Amino acid sequence: MTHANETRLAQSLPSSVPFVGPETMERAQGRPFAARLGANENIFGPSPLAIHAMAEGAKDNWMYGDPENHDLIHALSTHHNVGPESIIVGEGIDGLLGYLARLFIEPGDAVVTSEGAYPTFNFHVAGYGGVLHTAPFKNDHEDPDALIAKAHDVNAKLIYIANPDNPMGSHHKADVIHDMITRIPDGALLVLDEAYIEFAPEGTAPAFDTRNPNVIRFRTFSKAYGMAGARVGYAIGEAARMKSFHKIRNHFGMCRSSQLGALAALQDQAHLQSTLKSVTHARKRIGEIAADNGLTALPSATNFVAIDCGQGGDFAKRIVEELTTENIFVRMPFAAPQDRCIRVSCAPDDDLNLFAAALPRALKRARA
């Protein structure tokens, strides 16, 4: 009996998954986490209007969602003042990054990212046979100069940068990104992941320029809008580029009630503003908890804080494990030297109080 073979590419890929989910960890531990602070989720939650829209919309989930995402795209077009033909909506940034790789990457194509940057991008690139080249972080920031230089060296097709960055929470000002855009090598496309942009200081996002075919920008309802489980993201770029996504995307990929939820969330900018206030407060509180324990919180332009634990990755890993034993879910960066940190999501005081109580015990055991 012979069986169908996977493609040679699929056979060559590791069977590992980039993230072990908190649910997997809870099943392994046999109990739920008391505080879920590891996945950069927005624990302050969605707008009540979005919750209402999704709940109301649930009864209509017998219908597929609008494959054109018409209403949401037009609302985004008004919100960002870019033409609707320059916007596509998809199943979160993650889903859209998959489409991007499918559109641009053939086996052997060179792709540049930072060492230890957002791994889901790498996962999609590898899935289409792309070859990843990395530039190191510089002072806990992704390094635009090194990324551009590397892209020249390897003749890269895609260059990835997240601004603000995950996992360090650092950011570059708009003029730094703008300057990077002016230096994109011929034949390359800049993948500008702005998952956290709403949390960043004014002046972090360059103005949209949808005439430029060499930049695609990615945004999401998962983070500031607090709707990670609804899976709604969008990308903005030159109209002809964006049109190409329709050739390969999953036309019925969007959940109908999620489309309604995202539309309502976008229309509730007051809720977004109150979330941003809560996140600012939580960032400060996480900084205090770190300082109380002799650790250093790094500045954050996101809804999470990287805490420098002062030693190498092994020590940070022990802290993460000990916090897991304490029923506190946090994660840590994958690559050195960023992996000296643990990464903690902003959350209401109740969750952070649990973290504050558990951290000294976890540290003590990690040091032992």
Ligand X SMILES: *Cc1c(COP(=O)(O)O)cnc(C)c1O
CB of 313 to ligand X, least distance (A): 20
Give the range of 5-13, 220-228, 243-251, 339-347 binding ligand X by CB under 6 A.
220-228
Question: For the chain, what is the HEC assignment?
Answer: CCCCCCCHHHHHCCCCCCCCCHHHHHHHHCCCCCEECCCCCCCCCCCHHHHHHHHHHHCCCCCCCCCCCHHHHHHHHHHHCCCHHHEEEECHHHHHHHHHHHHHCCCCCEEEEECCCCHHHHHHHHHCCCEEEEECCECCECCHHHHHHHHHHHCCCEEEEECCCCCCCCCCCHHHHHHHHHCCCCCCEEEEECCCHHHCCCCCCCCCCCCCCCEEEEEECCCCCCCHHHCCEEEECCHHHHHHHHHHCCCCCCCHHHHHHHHHHHHCHHHHHHHHHHHHHHHHHHHHHHHHCCCEECCCCCCEEEEECCCCHHHHHHHHHHHHHCCEECECCCCCCHHHEEEEECCCHHHHHHHHHHHHHHHHHHHC
Of the pair 174, 357, the CB lying nearest ligand X is at 174
Q: Which residue is nearest to ligand X (CB)?
A: 92
CB of 348 to ligand X, least distance (A): 20
CB of 174 to ligand X, least distance (A): 18
Binding string, residues 86-105; x marks residues near ligand X by CB under 6 A: ------xxx-----------
CB of 250 to ligand X, least distance (A): 14
Of the pair 99, 366, the CB lying nearest ligand X is at 99
The correct pick among 159, 195, 254, 330 for binding ligand X (CB under 6 A) is 195
With contact defined as beta carbons under 8 Å apart, do 330 and 363 qualify? no
The correct pick among 162, 191, 301, 363 for binding ligand X (CB under 6 A) is 162
CB of 360 to ligand X, least distance (A): 28
Q: Residues 316 to 355: which contact ligand X by CB under 6 A?
A: none
Of the pair 119, 357, the CB lying nearest ligand X is at 119
Query: Per CB under 6 A, does 300 bind ligand X?
Result: no
Of the pair 235, 358, the CB lying nearest ligand X is at 235
CB of 40 to ligand X, least distance (A): 5
Query: Per CB under 6 A, does 40 bind ligand X?
Result: yes
Query: Per CB under 6 A, does 114 bind ligand X?
Result: no
* 131-135/304-308 β-pairing: unpaired
Query: Per CB under 6 A, does 118 bind ligand X?
Result: yes
The correct pick among 69, 220, 275, 300 for binding ligand X (CB under 6 A) is 220
Query: Per CB under 6 A, does 259 bind ligand X?
Result: no
Q: Which residues bind ligand X (CB under 6 A)?
A: 40, 92-94, 118, 162, 166, 193, 195, 220, 222, 228, 233
